Amino acid sequence: MDLTLTAEEEAFRDELRAWLEANHPGEGPGGGDQAEFEFQRKWQKALHGGGWAGISWPKEYGGRGATLIEQAIASEEMARAKVPRPANVLGLVMGGPVVIAHGDEDQKERFLDPILSAEEIWCQGFSEPESGSDLASLKTKAVKSNGGWKITGQKVWTTFAHEAKWCMLLARTDPDAPKHKGITYFICDMEQDAVDVRPLRQITGESEFNELFIEEAEVPDENVIGGVGNGWNVAITTLMHERAGLGASAALQLRIALDELAEMAKEKGLAEDPLVRDKIARLRIGIEGLRLGAMRALTQTMKVGIPGPEGSVAKLQWSYANQAMTELAISIGGIELLERDSLWAYRFLRARANSIEGGTTEILKNIVAERVLGLPKLR
């Protein structure tokens, strides 16, 4: 056991830290609109130019080929430097890795480069109004037509849909097969009239997500990834990519916010309040538990290929901590923190989605119970 960074890891960190210092784009315009998105696109182009886009991608595909520990270091450094997120975050963490893992050479040639450069933005069309946690029950259908497919259905919770060129889209190609077997993974061109994008306004007032209404959208055969009927397996890979490496940077962001909260408690004269002390300590311990568990999981993955049980609870730890922390902030800061333009009010409301997005707490506990503990399935 050795929690210090190796010489290579330290060099990696120092190089990135120096680069971020020299190239920090400053604060973005905010507001979640077009201007902010273009700011994020410009930032990703800068990252790409510096060789810091696709840190996890193999070098042969334009990435940096970083180890898992280096990826965690990189996301920590980005969180520490408080840089914006890259515009094409879904392409970088999900789309690209899926094409690399399941795509053929032509697909790699066609899709990978514009992901890194943020020329082509990616979005994800998995969830449907009737298929949330039970994703494999999805109904959007794809019917064979000349040299391709016609896709019809409805998708929901699609981030960046209005900016996206490509949608990672799951559709049913065989209605007679068992539900996990009849699904195919498509890369669907968003720039066609058959795809209607409507923003979905959330309780924070902004619209991070969209609904997609799809009426006979055309997708050519060469945009099927991983083979017809194999979409569920391909999708599982993307979901795993979505969760991998979340822990380290999430813990650091939580830690930064909790430090602000401790400062606020002191200003309010609550530093000696035993309840406040206990709650802040509980959060601190939970956040450190998240960080350390992520490091254990990365080590385990590098050694044997899969994370141990400690990795399976990372998202539970994160969503619980963020919700509890934002609730505590309101109780410490008082009613002014609930003003609509307060940052904590935003964080507090936004955190409500944490236990739903990317797998609900209940589904994740099912996974822990069934796959880690080996308990029987109810279904």
Partner 1 sequence: MDFGFNDEQQAIRDTAREMLAKRSPLSRVREHAEAKTRDEDLWKEICDLGWPGIAIDEQHGGQGLGTVELAILCEELGYTCAAVPFLSNAIAAHVISVAGSDEQRDRWLPGIASGESRGTVALEQEQPAIVVDADGAALLVLPGAGIVEPSAAEVESLDLIDQTRTYARASASGGDALAGESGMHVPMVALAAELVGIAQRALEMAVEYAKEREQFGRPIGAYQAVSHRCADMLWDVEEARSLTLYAAWCADAEPETLPYAAHMAKARASDSAWTVTSSTLQVLGGIGFTWEHDLQFLLKRAKVSGELLGSAGAHRDRVASFAGLG
Q: Catalytic residue positions?
A: 242
What mask, x for binding partner 1 by CB under 8 A, covers residues 330 to 369?
A: --------------------------------x-xxx-xx
Per-residue tokens: 194: 């058959």
The β-bridge partners of 185 are 170, 225
- CB 3 → partner 1: shortest distance, Å? 6
Alpha carbon of residue 298 to chain centroid: 17
* Secondary structure class of 180 (helix, strand, coil): coil
- Residue 74 engages partner 1 in binding (rule: CB under 8 A): no
194 vs 368, beta carbon nearer partner 1: 368
User: How many C-beta atoms lie closer than 10 Å to residue 181's C-beta?
Assistant: 15
- The identity of residue 217, as a single letter, is A
89 vs 372, beta carbon nearer partner 1: 372
- Residues 265 and 276 sit within 8 Å (Cβ to Cβ): yes
- CB 239 → partner 1: shortest distance, Å? 18
What dihedral angle (degrees, nearest 10) is formed by the CA atoms of 221, 223, 226, 228? -40
- Residue 374 engages partner 1 in binding (rule: CB under 8 A): yes
277 vs 347, beta carbon nearer partner 1: 277
Distance set, CA 198 to CA 162, 207, 210, 212, 349 (Å) = 8, 10, 5, 6, 22
Query: Which listed residue (11, 281, 338, 343) binds partner 1 by CB under 8 A?
Result: 281
- Residue 284 engages partner 1 in binding (rule: CB under 8 A): yes
- CB 303 → partner 1: shortest distance, Å? 6
User: How many C-beta atoms lie closer than 10 Å to residue 171's C-beta?
Assistant: 27
Q: Which residues bind partner 1 (CB under 8 A)?
A: 1-6, 9, 69, 258-259, 262-263, 265-266, 271-272, 274, 276-278, 280-282, 284-286, 288-290, 292-293, 295-296, 298-300, 303, 309-310, 312-313, 316-317, 362, 364-366, 368-370, 372-378
